Amino acid sequence: MSIISPGFGDRRRSSRPDLPPGQYLTHDFPVLSAGPTPRIPLDRWRFTITTETGGKHEWTWDEFTKLPSEDVTTDIHCVTKWSKLGTSWHGVSLDTILEDVETAADFTMVHGHGGYTTNVPMEDLLNGQAWIAYKYDGEDLTPEHGGPARMLIPHLYFWKSAKWVNGLEMLTDDEPGFWEEAGYHMYGDPWREQRYQGD
């Protein structure tokens, strides 16, 4: 069984200036998963931050959805070369989540249900650049798209926006996550076409 959903073949590329190099525009929202789609009951959902010293901060679903939240309209870019412009999300900014977390870490590892991980520098999570989103286009985020909640880091390739997010681990050194260990770029800037190691 393929770990990549069908429909990701080469398509005609757009030369629009609002698309990163090598991307094409889609009006669909393709689904790409590296395994089965988890279904997480909300009464068992937790989001946990673990600092580099072992300190823990944890939220239940009820606690998390009572945090200050905001609407976000942004473009998203998948490493498989599709881009979707003007997507609408609702969620909690990482600035809010990390406000009371004491850390000197420069790097993080994002964790999702099912064992998925991806590394993200701390500076890319702050200053209005990243959210944990739980609504898409005005509706609850579906499991296929990472619900009940997923990371949203739109300035990086979309594999960094981990689905089914359940934790954030602070790191003093940069470490590869799931796709990075498989050869994907450690950072993943779509405007620099950082798809794979060496790009």
Class of residue 176 by CB neighbours under 10 A (exposed 0-12, middle 13-18, buried 19+): middle
Dist. CA 60–CA 33, nearest whole Å: 25
Contact between residue 93 and residue 130 where contact means Cβ atoms under 8 Å apart = yes
Within a domain: 139? yes
- Determine the structural domain holding residue 118 and report its residue range: 43-192
Dist. CA 66–CA 61, nearest whole Å: 9
Question: Backbone phi, then psi, for 62, in 5-degree steps?
Answer: -60, -45
The residues pairing with 87 across neighbouring beta strands, listed in sequence order, are 74
CATH number of the domain enclosing 104: 3.90.420.10
For residue 199, what is the DSSP state? -
Within a domain: 25? no
Within a domain: 5? no
Within a domain: 21? no
Per-residue pLDDT, averaged over 166-171, amounts to 98
Within a domain: 174? yes
Within a domain: 109? yes
pLDDT at 9 over 70: no
Q: Name the pLDDT band for 40 (thresholds 50, 70, 90).
A: very high
Q: Name the pLDDT band for 52 (thresholds 50, 70, 90).
A: very high
Specify the long-range contacts of residues 7-11, CB closer than 8 Å, at least 24 apart: 8/32, 8/80, 8/82, 10/81, 11/81, 11/82
Collapsing DSSP to helix, strand or coil, 179 comes out as helix
CA 87 and chain centroid, separation: 14
**Which pLDDT does position 16 carry in this prediction?**
77
Count of the separate structural domains present in the chain: 1
Within a domain: 81? yes
Q: Is the peptide bond before 148 cis (omega within 30 degrees of 0)?
A: yes
Considering the entire predicted model, what is its pTM?
A: 0.90
